[in-house]
């Protein structure tokens, strides 16, 4: 049985050469003893041993175990050589720049993250607003996935994001992209609000808002709701926006109570009240006019 005693690879990217050398097991001690005893038996000085077959079987077992162990070692060396030749390729410069931006974003270093974009001032402001809105307890993690549309000066880096919040049972996950540009010698993230979140627009920022679920209705004994939700409209006035406030502050003229005469207690009112009294007396049943 031939076993591998020397395994070597010329290059991980080229053809590998494997040298196989048969190994010879050392001559078992039992065979030497058997031949020596045979000489002594021929000379008549020693009887033929009864255990010669046992020694011969034992030597074969030892030789088989050695061969098995050498085969296992050869397989392990082969696996190590194959593993060393299949290592993942190094990330490209655009991927490295995108990963550096996401790393700075994840540790809340807005200055470092902004410096890796094409508009550092706008990036720092937008990143800080979103981080403040999400809260100090928010913990993001980012992982690059693929790269597409790569040219000499542009590319699109895809990534996956996961945010954890203490008050949320499940993480907030989404997939995003970073538009990479190379204006000079280094790659930068082309600044856009989508570099924070894919659906973020200009002037907007991320924030955590707590919403309460809809309250269950309260029912009476017949199953009818005791109260229902209604839309309420609150009307308020901001004095700072009212330009003619002094004119509107003058109290309007007071109107008389309902049913009261507008000129009661005055002579004109009394004069107007007399015809009404006379007409009432004429219209009353049983009234007679005197001549």
Do 108 and 180 lie in a common domain?
A: yes
- Buried b vs exposed e over 176-202: b needs ≥16 C-beta within 10 Å? bbbbbbbeeeebbbbbbbbbbbeebee
One-character DSSP codes across 243-280: TTHHHHTSPPPPPPPTTS-TTTTSHHHHHHHHHHHHHH
Q: How many domains is the chain built from?
A: 2
Same domain, 117 and 66: no
Query: What is the span of the domain harbouring residue 114?
Result: 93-195
Residue 97 and residue 45 share a domain: no
Residue 278 lies inside a defined structural domain of this protein = no
Helix (H, G, I), strand (E, B) or coil at 83: helix
Round to whole Å and give the CA distance between 109 and 96.
17
Could you tell me if 58 and 111 lie in one domain? Answer: no
pLDDT band at 51 (very low <50, low <70, confident <90, very high): very low
User: Model's pTM, two decimal places?
Assistant: 0.49
- The pLDDT, as a whole number, for residue 20 is 42
How large a percentage of the chain has pLDDT more than 90? 41
The pLDDT score that the predictor gives to residue 62 is: 53
């Amino acid at each position: 049985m031939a076993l591998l005693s020397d395994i070597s690879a010329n290059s991980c990217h080229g053809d590998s050469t494997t040298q196989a050398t048969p190994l010879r097991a050392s001559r078992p001690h039992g065979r030497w003893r058997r031949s020596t005893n045979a000489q002594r038996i021929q000379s008549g000085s020693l009887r033929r041993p009864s255990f010669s077959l046992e020694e011969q079987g034992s030597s074969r077992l030892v030789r088989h175990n050695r061969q098995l162990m050498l085969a296992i070692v050869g397989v392990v060396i082969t696996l190590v050589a194959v593993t060393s030749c299949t290592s993942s390729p190094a990330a490209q410069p655009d991927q490295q720049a995108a990963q550096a931006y996401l790393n700075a974003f994840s540790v809340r270093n807005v200055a470092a993250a902004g410096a890796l974009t094409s508009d550092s001032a706008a990036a720092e402001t937008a990143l800080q607003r979103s981080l403040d809105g999400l809260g100090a307890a928010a913990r993001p993690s980012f992982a690059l996935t693929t790269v597409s549309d790569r040219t000499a000066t542009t590319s699109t880096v895809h990534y996956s994001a996961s945010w954890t919040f203490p008050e949320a049972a499940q993480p907030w996950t989404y997939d995003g992209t970073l538009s990479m540009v190379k204006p000079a010698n280094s790659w930068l993230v082309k600044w856009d609000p989508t570099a924070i979140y894919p659906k973020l627009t200009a002037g907007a920022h991320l924030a955590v808002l707590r919403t309460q679920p809809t309250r269950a209705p309260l029912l009476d004994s017949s199953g009818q709701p005791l109260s229902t939700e209604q839309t309420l409209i609150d009307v308020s006035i901001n004095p700072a926006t009212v330009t003619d406030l002094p004119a509107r502050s003058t109290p309007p003229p007071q109107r008389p109570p309902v049913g009261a005469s507008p000129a009661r207690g005055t002579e004109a009112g009394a004069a107007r009240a007399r015809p009404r009294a006379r007409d009432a007396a004429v219209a009353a049943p049983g009234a007679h006019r005197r001549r």
